[in-house]
Amino acid sequence: MLPDQIAFSPLSRRLVEANFSGGHITSDAGLLLLREVDRQHRLTRQLAQIFPDRRDPERIQHPLPMLLAQRIYALAAGYEDLNDHDDLRHDYALQTAVNRLQPLAGKSTLGRLEQQTNRKAVVEAHRILWEHFIAQHDSAPAEIVLDFDATDVPIHGHQEGRFFHGYYDHYCFLPLYVFCGRHLLVSYLRPSNIDAARHSWAILALLVKFIRRHWPDTRIVFRGDSGFCRHRMLDWCDRHQVDYVVGIARNDRLVQAAAPAMKLVAEAAERAGCKLAGIYRFLYRAGSWRKQRLIVSRLEHDERGANPRFIVVSRYEEDGAKQYYEDYCARGDMENRIKDQQLDLFAGRTSSPRWWANQWRLMLSAFAYVLFERLRDHLQHTELARASIQTLRLKLLKIGAVVIRNSRRIRFLLSEAYPLKDLFAGLVARLKPT
């Protein structure tokens, strides 16, 4: 039984009290921004068109576009669990965002929906991501870089595809991500009992075919760490005029080939009394390779000794330092994009016993990510232009407001003390169609 008043310590001579009679207050007024972004790009509408809906049309209370928008917007707002929706369904901000005035779907309805997912829906969802990527360019770029990377998603139940991974030392999935800059192109769930590069060859082939259909003259660069340095991948790239910048694991032959240059770097570091690094290029052929390829080595020497690193590249005419520091090291930004997915948008919440339901959760997270990226497009030249998803959620979505609804209007009364009110108002003006 809730008390009529909750008493706190007084301030000066004034009583400090609270109760639960403030009317409808939301903590997520900023979801209206995502609503405008989604209205522009129709992402959840497109997703609804490809999703298998096996419900009886005569008994449907919650249309499919609304269900998908509800789930994606909630992930964007920081609600990772289906259980959250039994309370969220009554939130006026989320209701308004998904264009509904009545209570939304509960956890059971949303859970049953996820179990209907199949392979075809996942393939079609990726097609939507790829077409959306193309649509964000006014003209064909001269060059694009496709970043491939795999990561682990720990699992704790008995889901389909559950295997123990020795490197990560736990049971997990091994999803594959592909980004082009900040654009997410692939979010593909895989079991962990496979090589990290498994499926990447086929996915690269599909991506290249799709991109060249729209941009036949664009230079395509495949980039990945040493886990993707496989002779089939490199051979395929050579045959199809796809350039590559790929890490290669250190071995005795590589170290021996770089030894003369490494000796010079070590001597210079000892004379200078500080860490030094140099770039050395040479030709190398691994046992499984059909030809020699160009290796760019970063030869570093510090107080701990030599620390050489190696990458294999397809272009001979470019500067080695640029190839390593600008072309290869730039892939480190992809790690932040994966963190956005895994930590901030809960792509790792793969708790369903069914494989395709877990894959669909990755896709829901992917579409939430894309909505944030389209929101970021309208934040150029502002203090939030390069903000993380966590920061965007905190500063733009997590806004408290009193919500008043009547027959003529829905009013969101935001705080006078909200520090970003000017930015927020300007953002709405840019998002709302004229």
Q: Is residue 363 a contact partner of residue 125, using CB atoms and an 8 Å limit?
A: yes
In terms of Cβ atoms closer than 10 Å to its own Cβ (0-12, 13-18, 19+), residue 364 is buried
Q: Are residues 303 and 179 in the same domain?
A: no
Q: Both 171 and 241 in a single domain? A: yes
Q: How far apart are CA 408 and CA 182, in angstroms?
A: 41
Residues 233 and 154 in one domain: yes
Q: In what order do the strands lie in the sheet with 170-173?
A: 153-154, 170-173, 163-165
Evaluate whether residue 79 is within a structural domain: yes
Residue with tokens 């692939």: 186
Q: Classify residue 131: in a domain, yes or no.
A: yes
Separation between Cα atoms, residue 39 and residue 41, nearest integer Å: 6
CB-based contact 28:93 (threshold 8 Å): yes
Do residue 233 and residue 146 come from a single domain?
yes
Which residues, other chains included, contact 93 with Cβ-Cβ below 8 Å and sequence gap of 6+?
A: 26, 28, 29, 31, 32, 401, 403, 412
pLDDT digits (tens, 9 = 90+) for 195-235: 888 889 899 999 999 999 999 999 999 999 999 999 999 99
Q: Domain for residue 186, yes or no?
A: yes
Tokens for 101, please give them. 């005035």
Tell me if 325 is assigned to some domain.
Answer: no
Same domain, 162 and 243: yes
Tally of structural domains, the chain: 3
Do residues 169 and 230 both lie within one domain? Answer: yes
The answer on 192 and 159 residing in a single domain is yes
Same domain, 26 and 108: yes
Q: What one-letter code names the amino acid at 18?
A: A
Which ranges constitute the DSSP H helices of 89-179? Answer: 92-97, 107-114, 119-135
Q: Which residue has the tokens 């123990």?
A: 164
87 with 173, same domain?
no
CA distance 176 to 362: 11
Sheet order of strands, 25-26 included = 25-26, 401-405, 410-414
Please give the C-alpha separations between residue 38 and each of 42, 66, 189, in angstroms, as whole numbers: 5, 12, 25
Is residue 355, in this structure, part of any structural domain at all?
Answer: no
Q: 3-class SS at 245?
A: strand
Helix (H, G, I), strand (E, B) or coil at 267: helix
d(CA 143, CA 79): 37
Which positions ≥6 away from 425 have C-beta within 8 Å?
none
Residues in the chain, overall count: 434
Q: Residue 256's CB: how many other CB atoms inside 10 A?
A: 10
Query: In which domain, by residue range, is 47 found?
Result: 21-116+366-431
Three-state secondary structure call for residue 76: helix
Contact 180, 147 (CB under 8 A): yes
Locate 67 and state its tokens. 């269900």
Q: Give yes or no: residues 68 and 217 share one domain.
A: no
| pLDDT tens sequence for the chain (434 residues) | 778 889 999 999 999 999 888 889 999 999 999 999 999 999 999 999 999 888 888 888 999 999 999 999 999 999 999 999 999 999 999 999 999 999 999 999 999 999 999 999 999 999 999 999 999 999 999 999 999 999 999 998 888 999 999 888 999 999 999 999 999 999 999 999 988 888 898 999 999 999 999 999 999 999 999 999 999 999 999 999 999 999 999 999 999 999 999 999 999 998 888 889 999 999 999 999 999 999 999 999 988 888 999 999 999 988 999 999 999 999 988 888 998 998 899 998 888 999 999 999 999 999 999 999 999 999 999 999 999 999 999 999 999 999 999 989 999 999 999 999 999 999 999 997 65
The answer to the question of residue 321 being in a domain is: no
Contact 105, 112 (CB under 8 A): no
Burial per residue of 151-190, b for 16 or more beta-carbon CB atoms within 10 angstroms, e otherwise = bbbebeeebebbeebeeeeebbbbbbbbbbbbbbbbbbbb
Rg (CA), the chain: 26
Q: Which two tokens stand for residue 202?
A: 């086929």
Q: How far is CA 2 from CA 6, 18, 56, 87, in A?
A: 9, 11, 41, 18
Q: Assess if residue 77 is contained within a domain.
A: yes
Is the domain of 194 the same as that of 221? yes
pLDDT tens-place string over residues 119-168: 999 999 999 999 999 999 999 999 999 999 999 999 988 889 999 998 88
287 and 242 assigned to the same domain: no
Which residue's structure tokens are 């006014």? Answer: 138
Antiparallel, parallel or unpaired: β 143-150 and 410-414: unpaired
Tokens of 239: 């045959």
- CATH number for the domain including 224? 3.30.420
pTM for the model stands at: 0.93
Of 340, 357, 367, 337, nearest to 71 (Cα)? 367
Q: Is 354 inside any structural domain?
A: no
